Amino acid sequence: MRREDAVASNGKVYQDGYGRGLQHFRVVNETELTLLTLLTLGLTRLTLKRPGRKQNTIHQSGIPFIIDFINFFSSGRTTFNMFSFSAAMRLLLLAAPAMLVSAAPASIPETQQLDTRQSSSYWVADIARNGKVFNNTGFGPIFRNVKDAPYGAAGDGTTDDTNAINLAISAGGTCAHGCDSSTKAPAIIYFPPGKYLVSKPIIQNYFTQFIGDAINPPTLLASSSFAGIAVIDSDPYDDTGANWWINQNNFYRQVRNFVIDITALPSTQGAGIHWQVAQATSIQNVTFNMNKDTSSANAQKGIFMDNGSGGFFGDLTFNGGGFGAWLGNQQFTTRNLVFNGCNTAFFMNWNWGWTLKSASINNCKVGVDIATGPANQSVGSLVFLDSQISNTPVGVNTSFSINPESVPVNGGTLYIENVDMSQNVPTAVQGDTGNQILPGNTVIQSWGQGTSYTGSSGSRVQAAMSAPSKASSLMAGNKVFERSKPQYETVTSSSFVSVISSGAAGDGVTDDTQAIQNVFDKIEDGQIVYFDHGLYRVTDTIKVPKNVKITGEIWPVIAANGSGFGDPTNPKPLFQVGQPGDTGAVEMSDLVFGNIGPAPGAVLLEWNLQSAQGASGVWDVHARVGGYNGTNQGMNCYHNENVTFAEKSQDYKTECQGVFTMLHITSSASGAYFENSWWWTADHSLDTGGSPQIDIYTGRGVLIESPGPSWLYGTASEHSVLYNYQLSGAQNIWMGMIQSETPYFQPNPVAPQGISGSLPSDPVFNCQADDTTCDSWGLRVVNSSSVFVYSAGLYSFFNNYGQDCLNDNPQDCQKNMVAVDGSSDVHLFALSTKASVNMVTENDGATDDAKDADNRGVFPAVVLQWTDGSSSNGPNNSTESSGSSSAAPVVSSSAASSAAASSAAASSPIASAPGVQSSAGSAVSSAAADASPAPSSPAYVATDVKYTTIMVTATTTVTA
């Protein structure tokens, strides 16, 4: 997540390159430039945050881009009447109340196609509810059925259910406007089958899950006079233009099992979901039905995402609309998306990094659009793989350029692997002027644009690349294996075994260790362990059997506590899945692992199990160390940058110890599958007003020692002292968008101070006490092989909570971010790092391979690919057959031509042909056309990005 404290010492909001990148414009007056954006009222919005918060300043909600206007308006201007402009804008805003979130309910159509009220056997509807909230006994209920009294939604397609649904959400005091964040007011909002007519947005409050019936998903139907930004709004704008929640801290939300229909609205307006979120959030199993107007006037969007710091969503279908998904976020993973008849399927307005996997795009005009102008790139990078596009004129639209260089130099980095465009896609990749960069009607085996490194040798490319081979155990056919979160639709509620009904208290005080263990010891085949919402105090290891399914009620916390987890020289697991050597199948979903007080000897989750592909999985399971209700690590661990660690009291040092390791996938484990998991040591308190900064000292984030296969989709690991991710002796590991942050307090103290206890694989720092760049590693790959990272965002934002280190040249909040030592067949695609002098090092730091200063992107530095170069034909140290084969070496080109060949190979998207494969299965060669030759090494230095500081209060409207 992006902590909002990213602020310069002068108190001004630090503008960090979100949106369309104001940093590229000459700024006459910062306040003046900000308010100029309001001139595009109705097509764009300006998000302005309170002082002292690091925020996204610009986002867009329409095709006419605000930045193009500002660029024109600000160039050459020298005079401007601020008072007149401000007064005029305020009058204009006051004259448009219908556009605000708080708009009055609209009239309801007189006739609607009705669905009869239906019942369902889905277990979520009728399971007994025993959940409780620690230290908030008056809150409740946690579970709310929108049709039940006192809410009273009809679900008949004609009654306006807006107020009833919003009442169900807000009842009892959930975390709404004015509440920064809270874990003390969880709510599950359940929608039985039916059609729910709404005339204004359904507001999703903080720590809330919207769950539709999974057997017969309900429809949310926007009325013809619907007024508001979207049918579901995860972060509303008030009438001053401020969000209800800080988007980078907008955690803990789910939306699943719905049909969202906005076809009654004019095609010029409307969105299904406004999804402005951070980590621990997801959307699953949702269909968006939109207007099928094929004109450019169609502005409807299935998902409208203006900013945030996520995140994951998957298993979605978008029908019609001007944009299937209109997206902007710091980092994200998306999987299994279907787009049918959208004008533009996947529009990327801005990002730092994004992984798009298993998309099916059909009968659209443009498949993926990341073109935001070569002189003003706002998309950092995109990895697009294992997908297909058909009957769509343009597969991917980009504005990346080698000659002249894009600005910033590596903005718009793109990697495509195994994307089938063989069915009526004339242009695979198109430039921003409509020029064809790569012909279509092909299967794109491997192609990329950006700066590619083999070891320390880098070159700028726009060409076919070499696809890394992967062990067959990682693959499902010709794609990397994936599996969706189970919802147990066919299981009745009687098959769920409640841990509270079985004797656990879940009150954060009672020792629940034995009660929980008894449940696991007695569980029978066909039963599912159900953790009712609560805080479960655990004082010894819970041994999870090798064959069991586990799910939770809106993220119950299983917390390590006491002397049993107090010895960092003898660490032990809190939750131990299988014993070494066990073979079986374990599923886990919707849980949180944490601590009550210091637990420096706790490994929160230890995974030992060997599983067949797809037998085991972990979904929406997170760690939360410190900083929440019941953890006893809040204001007692308050950060003071003016006091050194050595000067802090021994009580402070003891009370603020976190855990030994958050996640350990051991050398016994195989077949581990993790999706949408956030391993977070708190940098601020979630349950204290103002989100004060705190310091918690956790040793390690995610440690993987598995021989594989293992998959990590959309995971994040933040704020551990030694490292956030480490692969040690690991093999056949696939990771899709990993994200990390260095502890904000470092180097006060420098690593490894703050923790005790060690492992043989721990990094050695040898830091001097006054070294300001000796910080936690984002990623270490040590003595490992066949490692595939498909997007990574590894960030260092602070130096003892200060931000002088973010200033250009050299941007040195820390020295090193990624280490690859004693390893082979390592492939890092779309690697983004922030404010680390060296992006990648080898040989115990002796070799600096890729440098931040050479690879500046939209905000972080980014490289298209880094590989150690040890293998281009297959995984090392593996006897398994390859699931995908290599392609031609990298060449620099902006065009490719196809050659005829036999049709025998056309049936497989992954064949042994090089680079780009035609629909007939032939190789497509790359030839240098009008592109300038790529340099043999990145001797160029990218234009340093300048950032605007803005601190303004303004009024703005909210439109879709």
**What's the pLDDT tens digit per position in 306-354?**
999 999 999 999 999 999 999 999 999 999 999 999 999 999 999 999 9
CA-to-CA distance for 769 and 640, rounded, in angstroms? 18
Cα-atom radius of gyration of the chain, to the nearest Å? 26
- Token pair for residue 449? 């644009």
Comparing C-alpha atoms, which of 813, 801, 864 is closest to residue 838?
A: 813
CA-to-CA distance for 386 and 606, rounded, in angstroms? 31
838 SS3 class: strand
CA-to-CA distance for 342 and 835, rounded, in angstroms? 38
Strands 479-480, 475-476: pairing kind: antiparallel
Comparing C-alpha atoms, which of 618, 545, 612, 539 is closest to residue 577?
A: 545
CA-to-CA distance for 300 and 291, rounded, in angstroms? 7
Strands (E), 242-311: 253-261, 271-274, 281-289, 301-304
Residue in this structure with the two tokens 């696939």, named with its chain if needed: 734
How would DSSP label each residue in 778-826? EEEEES-EEEEEEEEEEE---BTTB-GGGSTTT--SEEEEEEEES-EEE
Q: Measured over all CA atoms, what is the biggest interatomic distance in the chain, rounded to whole angstroms? A: 77
Is 0.85 surpassed by the pTM of this model?
no
Note the Cα 219 to chain centre separation in Å: 26
CA-to-CA distance for 451 and 448, rounded, in angstroms? 9
656, 695 Cβ separation under 8 angstroms: yes
Strands 678-681, 617-625: pairing kind: parallel
Burial 739-769 (b: 16+ CB within 10 A, else e): bbbbbbbbbbbbbbbbbbeebebbbebebee
Neighbouring-strand partners of residue 362: 340, 390
CA-to-CA distance for 234 and 277, rounded, in angstroms? 7
- Identity at 723, one-letter amino acid code: Y
Per-residue pLDDT at 76: 33
What's domain 201-455's architecture?
A: 3 Solenoid (2.160)
542, 139 Cβ separation under 8 angstroms: no
CB neighbourhood size of 528 (10 A): 18
259, 127 Cβ separation under 8 angstroms: no
Helices and strands, number each (H, E), in the chain: 7, 59
Where in the chain are the domains?
201-455, 496-762+771-867
60, 68 Cβ separation under 8 angstroms: no
The CATH H-level superfamily of 496-762+771-867 is Single-stranded right-handed beta-helix, Pectin lyase-like (2.160.20.10)
**Positions of the chain with pLDDT under 70:** 1-118, 871-960
Backbone angles phi, psi at 79, to 5 degrees: -130, 150
Neighbouring-strand partners of residue 327: 348
Comparing C-alpha atoms, which of 59, 68, 231 is closest to residue 956?
A: 59
